[in-house]
Amino acid sequence: MRALIQRVREAKVSVEGRVTGEIGPGLLILVCAMQGDGEAEAAALAARIARLRIFKDAAGKMNLALAEAGGATLVVSQFTLAADTSRGNRPGFSTAAPPDEGRRLYEQFSDELRKLGFPVANGEFGADMQVALVNDGPVTIWMDTADRVVKG
């Protein structure tokens, strides 16, 4: 699975003018299931993100994880993270998981974060969404479970 994680002061996602998810300080997580991903990747990615020490401590250093910072998560499905731009000017998305599998893994990823004790707000899978955020730092981190063995 792939994720683009942004430390935010606030974020919200809307569909057709209706807010479907909104958080204050925490993480906006754009997530994409790739072909071949399964439950293990969803669980490992959630656990890894939960342990990321990207929040400032009292000294101003990035030393705190999400739980220590008291943050929430806004999880938004984003199949375009599977973009293949190696040929031509139009990205291809054939490496993304099929929609039904992508939805299942997206929902499992969100559930894994909930199991870890985090408040989770969501976008609407497959919808045309508008995402608004105030990036804090800015801090933006890219993660892909295929890049290395991600241990839960």
d(CA 128, CA 41): 26
Instruction: Tell me if residue 29 falls in helix, strand or coil.
Output: strand
DSSP structure class, residue 94: T
First vs last C-alpha separation in the chain: 14
Establish whether 118 is a catalytic residue: no
Establish whether 55 is a catalytic residue: no
Which is the catalytic residue, given 6, 73, 78, 145? 78
Establish whether 130 is a catalytic residue: no
E strand or H helix at 76: strand 72-77
State both tokens at 4.
Answer: 């683009």
Catalytic residues: 78-80
